Amino acid sequence: MELRAYLTILWRRRWVALTLPALVLIGVVIQALQSRPNYTATARVIVTRIPQQAPPDVFRYDEYYLYLTNEYTVDDFTEVVRGNVFAADVAQTLVQTTGLQISPEEVQGSLSVERRNRALTIRATSSDPQRAVAIAQAAAQTLEERGTQYFGFDNPSRQAIISVIDQPLGAASDRGRQQLLWLLQLAVAFVGGVLIAFLVDYLADTFDTAEAVQDALGLPVIGVIPLRRKERRAP
C-alpha cells in the first residue's frame, strides 16, 4: 500500500485517530492543573572506620580489613537512615537547629538513601524546597554526630569518622520529569489513535474507494460519481 493510501485512511478516519489523543490531552491538562512539584535536596557523606590499634610486632592487614569493615559499615548505615529511630533523631535536630516542628513520620517518608563505595547519598523530598533542604541538612548532621552509636559501639576504637562532603544548599524540582511523562502519554496516545483508526478502517464493511470495489468484486471500475456538496442558495 502506498503512503498516499495510508494518508487517505487517516484522513477518512481522522476523528477516530484524534479521539484518544484528545482524551489523553484533557487528562494531562487536569494533571497539570492539580499537580504540585516535589523538591529534592541531596547530601553526601563519606564513612571511614578507625583502624584498631595493634602491637608493632604483629603483622597487620589493616588496609584490607579496614576496607571490608568500611563496606559493611556503609551498608549498615543505609538501614539506619531508613529507620524510624533515625527519623526521630532528625526531627529533634530540626527543632534544635531550625525550630521546625516536623514529625518523625514525615521525616522518614521524605528520606531515601543509596550508597556507592564509602559514600552515602541522602535525599530528602518535600513539596516545600526549604523544608527539603532543612531535612537533608539535619539528616547529614545527625549521622555525622551520632555515627556508630546506632550500632551500640561505645568504644572509641570501634567508631567511624563520618564527614559531610556535599552539603544540601538547594532543592531540585521534579517538574521536568513530570512534563516528560506527560509528553510520553501524549505520544503513546497519538500512536494508539493511529492504530485504532487503521483497525476501524480494516474492520469496516463499506467501500470507500474505487480500488476497494475492484479488489473486492474483481470487476473493472467503469466510472466514479463524485460526491458533491450542496451549494448554499443566495438569500
Residues 51 and 88 in one domain: yes
Q: How many helices (H) and strands (E) does the chain have?
A: 8, 5
Greatest mean pLDDT range, 54-63, 173-182, 222-231: 173-182
Query: Is the same domain home to 198 and 123?
Result: no
14: pLDDT confidence band, cut at 50, 70 and 90? confident
Q: What is the pLDDT of residue 229?
A: 59
Do 161 and 184 fall into the same domain? no
Phi first, then psi, for residue 174 (nearest 5°) are: -100, 15
pTM of the full predicted structure?
Answer: 0.64
CA distance 149 to 52: 17
Amino acid type, 56: P
Question: Domain containing 71 — which CATH number?
Answer: 3.30.70.1130
Segments forming the whole domain that contains residue 76 = 39-173
Residues 143 and 68 both lie in one domain = yes
Higher-confidence residue of 177 and 159: namely: 177
The answer on 153 and 124 residing in a single domain is yes
**Domain for residue 141, yes or no?**
yes
pLDDT score for 67: 47
- Within a domain: 183: yes
Q: Residue 227: inside a domain, yes or no?
A: no
Kindly state whether residues 145 and 80 are assigned to the same domain.
Answer: yes
Backbone torsions φ then ψ of 47, nearest 5 degrees: -120, 130
231 is a domain residue: no
CA 126, CA 181: separation in Å to the nearest integer? 20
54 backbone dihedrals φ, ψ, rounded to 5°: -140, 155
Q: Is 225 inside a domain boundary?
A: no
Greatest pairwise CA separation for the chain in angstroms: 116
Domain match, 158 and 47 both? yes
Instruction: Kindly state whether residue 191 falls inside one of the protein's structural domains.
Output: yes
- Please give the Cα distance from 153 to 160 (Å, whole number): 10
Q: By three-state DSSP, how is residue 164 classified?
A: strand
Nearest CA among 142, 154, 167 for reference residue 85: 142
Average pLDDT estimate for 148-161: 71
197, with CB counted inside 10 A (0-12, 13-18, 19+), is: buried
Number of independent structural domains in the chain = 2
Asked, for residue 228, whether it belongs to a domain, the answer is: no
Same domain, 77 and 130: yes
Q: Is residue 222 part of a domain?
A: no
Cα–Cα–Cα angle for 190, 6, 12, nearest 5°? Answer: 75
Same domain, yes or no: 27 and 49 = no
> Do 53 and 169 have their domain in common?
yes
Domain final residue, candidates 173, 202, 229: 173
213 and 187 inside one domain: yes
The verdict on 133 and 78 lying in the same domain is yes
If pLDDT is split at 50, 70 and 90, which confidence band does 51 have? Answer: low
Find cell 516542628 and name the residue.
Answer: 101
Pairing of strands 171-173, 39-49: antiparallel
